Amino acid sequence: MNKFFISLVMLTISSVISAKDILSLDSCKRMAVKNNLAVKQADNQVVSSQEAMKQAYTSFFPTVKATGMYYKPSSPLLDFEYGGERVIDGKYGYTAGVEASLPIYSGGQLTNSYKLSKVGVEVSQLERQKLLRDVDIQVEGYFWQIVMLQEKIKTVDSADTLLADLHKTVENAVKNGLKNRNDLLKVELRIDENESNRLQLENRLKVSKQLLAQYIGRSDADFDVTSEINVSNLHHDLVSLRQNHDMAVGHIAEYRLLQKNVDAGKLEVDLERGKYLPTIGLGTGYEYEKFFGKAGGGAALYATVSIPISDWWGGSHAIKSKKKELENAQYELENSKQKLLIQIDKLWYDVEEAYKILSIAQKSIIQAEENLRINRNTYRFGTTTMTELLDAELLCRQVHDNYSEAYSKLHTKIIEYKLMISD
């Protein structure tokens, strides 16, 4: 009973130790977003731009300030004799006051500055959105690379099973004098070659897992990914995936960022023009003072008008310069639209190409497996050489590998297209 209990405990411990985390594609993306330092920087930039917008909004509030002064000189300010008496005064004094001013008109500078700060918030949000897209694409690339390598290792496993069975068959045939020993040596060489291929794939898989682990902020690469190759609904998914590219351009982060550059350019022209317009303000204040033993105070209401006459000489040139910068931003926007359309079209062509290659690979698997089956049967009857049989086995393995690569590439291209048009 004790031995059984100990064995059960050891088995349980062994299972726990050997258990690996299973990561899905979505969980990898969540971890990447959570741990990516560039994303954290983008988050901070969004908050920073929002605070800058709030600060710009406070420019509409009245400016209030309080002033005060107390003095006590080393000697009285007044010290003289009058009528036989000594007069001493001004030993100390103080003033205190409060003032409030409000801009009534500033040539649109306050309003345009606030609008420009709002554009800054939108730009930071779009930059973050673009970064998240890049993170998604990078994770997809690492993830599907791992899936592909795992599938290739499965193909090696299948080849191992086939070669082991073939080795047993040929070995018995050699013992009975039915086959040449050279055939057995060829099988053994292929088994060694297959094992070497496995080692290479396993090393590539380790490196790919390490790259993914580093990118998503995981401290170790002791995990597996959950994804099985499934093409049952792939064609239907692709049909619904295709979008109107002319309309999609307007949703792309890069294009919207350039639109914000144009918006900012318009506001900067208005801001520059506002510098040379009059400014009007209202103010009020109250001051209390005590000097020479007398105390008093008073309130005042005032208006200010400022006209930057001397700035007019160079103002027109500065405005023209800003207008040219705006034109360049508009040209860049239009040029970008054409480039993005080409880019979206190419991404879709890549998706279509990858799907066609996958379809061909899927068909090739059926053909290669049938070819292998025929060669195995004909080898038994001596009408096929061992070299031809092993060539058929190698071709079958290569076709399976091509299928795995095509599937991985297709999913990578699909996500690149989806993320581009769905921003």
CA separation (Å) from 243 to 254, 339, 345?
A: 18, 17, 10
- List pLDDT tens digits, range 216-271: 988 888 888 886 656 666 666 777 788 888 888 888 888 999 999 999 999 888 88
pLDDT score recorded for residue 190: 93
pLDDT at 2 over 60: no
Residue 42, token pair as written in the block: 């983008």
Whole-angstrom Cα distance, residue 134 to residue 423? 11
Q: H or E element: which one contains 99?
A: strand 93-105
Which of 141 and 290 is assigned the larger pLDDT? 141
CB 357 within 8 A of CB 382: no
Residue 111, token pair as written in the block: 């309003």
- List pLDDT tens digits, range 81-95: 555 565 555 556 678
Q: What is the sign, positive or negative, of the torsion defined by CA atoms of 5, 7, 13, 19?
A: negative
Could you please report the per-residue DSSP string of 264-285?
Answer: HHHHHHHHHHHTTS-EEEEEEE
pLDDT score recorded for residue 366: 93
Q: How many Cα atoms are found within 13 Å in the side-chain-facing hemisphere of 171?
A: 8
CB 415 within 8 A of CB 363: no
pLDDT score recorded for residue 16: 42
pLDDT at 311 over 70: no
Q: What is the pTM of this model?
A: 0.75
Query: Crossing angle of helices 253-274/109-175, nearest 10°?
Result: 160
Q: What percentage of the chain has pLDDT greater than the value 90?
A: 40
Whole-angstrom Cα distance, residue 318 to residue 306? 20
Domains and CATH numbers, the chain: 106-276+311-421 (1.20.1600.10)
pLDDT score recorded for residue 185: 93
CB 161 within 8 A of CB 223: no
User: In sequence order, what are the residues at sequence separation of 6 or more whose Cβ sits closer than 8 angstroms to the Cβ of residue 246?
Assistant: 341
Which of 230 and 180 is assigned the larger pLDDT? 180
Return left, alpha or beta for 293; rule: phi > 0 is left, psi -120 to 50 is alpha, else beta: left
CB 404 within 8 A of CB 148: yes
CB 47 within 8 A of CB 249: no
pLDDT score recorded for residue 411: 87
Shortest CA distance to 365 belongs to which of 395, 389, 386? 395
Which of 64 and 52 is assigned the larger pLDDT? 52
Banded model confidence at residue 78, pLDDT cuts 50, 70, 90? low
Could you please report the per-residue DSSP string of 375-395?
Answer: HHHHHHTTSS-HHHHHHHHHH
User: In sequence order, what are the residues at sequence separation of 6 or more whose Cβ sits closer than 8 angstroms to the Cβ of residue 167?
Assistant: 184, 187, 188, 191
Q: Where are the beta strands (DSSP E) in 266-420?
A: 279-291, 294-306
Banded model confidence at residue 322, pLDDT cuts 50, 70, 90? confident
Q: What is the sign, positive or negative, of the torsion defined by CA atoms of 169, 173, 175, 181?
A: negative
- List pLDDT tens digits, range 29-47: 999 999 988 899 999 999 9
- List pLDDT tens digits, range 340-385: 999 999 999 999 999 999 999 989 999 999 999 999 999 888 888 9
pLDDT at 290 over 60: yes
* Nearest-10 Cα torsion for 402, 404, 406, 409: -140
pLDDT score recorded for residue 89: 55
The torsion angles phi and psi of 67, rounded to 5 degrees, stand at -130, 155
Shortest CA distance to 279 belongs to which of 258, 303, 255? 303
pLDDT score recorded for residue 402: 93
pLDDT score recorded for residue 293: 59
Mean pLDDT score of the chain, rounded to an integer?
Answer: 83
Banded model confidence at residue 198, pLDDT cuts 50, 70, 90? very high
pLDDT at 421 over 90: no
- List pLDDT tens digits, range 3-21: 444 444 444 444 444 457 8
Q: How many Cα atoms are found within 13 Å in the side-chain-facing hemisphere of 105?
A: 11
Whole-angstrom Cα distance, residue 403 to residue 362? 6
pLDDT score recorded for residue 81: 57
